[in-house]
Structure 1
Amino acid sequence: MEEEKLDNPVWNSLNETHKNFSLELNGFKFYKPEYCPFGGFTKLEHPISDLEEQLTFTDNFYIVGENPQFSSKLTLVKNLVCNQMILKQPINIELNEQIVELKTDKQKIELFDLVNLVQPGYFNRKTVDLGRYFGIYKNEQLVAATGERMKMNCFTEVSAVVTHPEHTGKGYAKQLIKQTTNQIFNGNKTPYLHVAAFNIGAIKLYEKLGFTYRRQISFWNFTTS
């Protein structure tokens, strides 16, 4: 089934829609580091420590999915356990904010700064080029954004759901998730997302919008230094 590809989202994205962003090493696939710090694999017999000498392009990365084998050559910084959630029907709310697609160089810099203020460590300089990103401005300041990250033939990940700390509680996230998922549905794909399992507030928001729990999935953060 196509939905089973969500069990290994990095690997399948880099095999399908995002194959042009892929780096392949010893049975692993990584996003080129300027785009995304994620990697994936399919065969557990490939110890991740085998990559240590080849990972010259990054010293900090995530393996998404199954527990990888590793040795003291690598340091496991953390295992971020996320709920993977999927949306089967369009969100039933009205769009009443002015939403803009973030396309210009200035807008992309503003997006990078906002995401790394709210959710540092996952959004690199060219992550914006993996999909479409949308924002809400107030007094010429980007105060909220959401967009698309990993993409497969049938699924697109909703990512970077961020609101500036001084502008929370105004419903901007709902509006931007609605806009982003509308675009995904219009492309005949199904939206899904990852949210930290401890982030109860965000999970409740996604449930209210119609997302349903699919499974838990781990983001294993390693360093090579």
Structure 2
Amino acid sequence: MAYDPAVLDHIFWQALTGPHACYASGSGAARRYVEGFSPIIAFADPAQPDFDGLREVCKAGEHFYCDSWQGPAPDGWQIEVESSMFRMVWEGVCPATDTAPQAIRLTAEHAAQAVALAQLCKPGPFGLRTIELGEYWGIFEDGQLIAMAGERLRAPGLCEISGVCTHPSAQGRGLAPALIRKVLRQQILRGDTPFLHVMHDNPAHQLYLRMGFRDYRQTVVRVLARTAAA
């Protein structure tokens, strides 16, 4: 499983201008996922963010996550949250078998349930069409989605595990680790290196370390609001 660290260092930009360019809008040195997907923006150079490249594609009232960028917000933008997260890379052993054979591949018919679970569990930016970015898998009970995990960012040799959620009523049953191992096994068998993001204060960070992920880097993450029309 080989990958370029320079790509992983700027994975949001690499995804939005590479495999996910068809889901992106923006110009110059700035991109965003189009409305309906995960509300994320990225810059070619976070040290010199090209907000002009987002002028025509971001509406007043929209909120976005942004990785690595620091500094004051330009006119028409407001920083609502500033925190940090770990970018973690898999260094464990590939699971020998499917650890969640009962999981169902999520499709458009499951999108509303996936969004509802994400809003409840808050795994990170998630939109109605996020499940189109990769393979998302869910576990259902009595027709209700109680756990899910899937794939979001992609770049050559790399694939992100994202959207990891377990309904509060189903926690403590090992559903999230089983789904994560299911997803990363598929990625490894394809020749990709799995990676993920987790907020610095999320207890799941310790779980991921025990599973076989390692901290690659800690980075600033912000939630920005567009406060003025383009």
What SS does the aligned partner of 2:26 have?
A: strand
Answer yes or no: is 1:101 the counterpart of 2:105: yes
Tell me how large the CA RMSD over aligned residues is: 2.2
Give the secondary structure class of the aligned counterpart of 1:70: coil
Match of 1:23 among 25, 28, 32: 25
Please tell me whether the aligned partners of residues 148 and 163 of structure 2 are also in contact (alpha carbons under 8 angstroms): yes
Q: Structure 1 residues 68 and 150 mapped into 2: Cα distance closer, same or farther (>3 Å)?
A: farther
Which 5+ residue runs of structure 2 have no aligned equivalent?
none
The AA in structure 2 aligned to 1:207 is L
Q: TM-score, normalised by structure 2?
A: 0.87
Please give the alpha-carbon distance, in whole angstroms, between the structure 1 residues aligned to 2:142 and 2:123: 24
Conserved in 2, the CA contact under 8 Å of 1:52 and 1:74?
Answer: no
Which stretches in structure 1 are left out of the alignment for 5+ residues?
A: none
Q: 1:127 aligns with which of 127, 130, 149?
A: 130
Name 1:163's counterpart in structure 2.
Answer: 166
Deviation at 1:112, TM superposition (A): 1.7
Deviations 1:77-99 (A, max 9, x none): 01231011000344548626611
Matched-pair identity in %: 25
Specify the alignment match of 2:37 in structure 1. Answer: 35
Deviation at 1:26, TM superposition (A): 3.6
Structure 2 counterpart SS, 1:106 = helix
Deviation at 1:27, TM superposition (A): 1.5
2:32 and 2:54 mapped to 1: Cα distance? Answer: 13
Task: Indicate the larger mover: 84-93 or 188-197.
Answer: 84-93
**For each residue in 1:56-82, what CA deviation from the matched residue of structure 2 results, as whole angstroms up to 9, or x when unmatched?**
446211221232553343110012310
Structure 2 residue 199 is the aligned partner of structure 1 residue 212: no
TM-score by length of 1: 0.89
- The equivalent residue for 1:115 is 118
Residue deviations 1:16-47, cap 9 Å, x none? Answer: 21121121234211111211211111233345
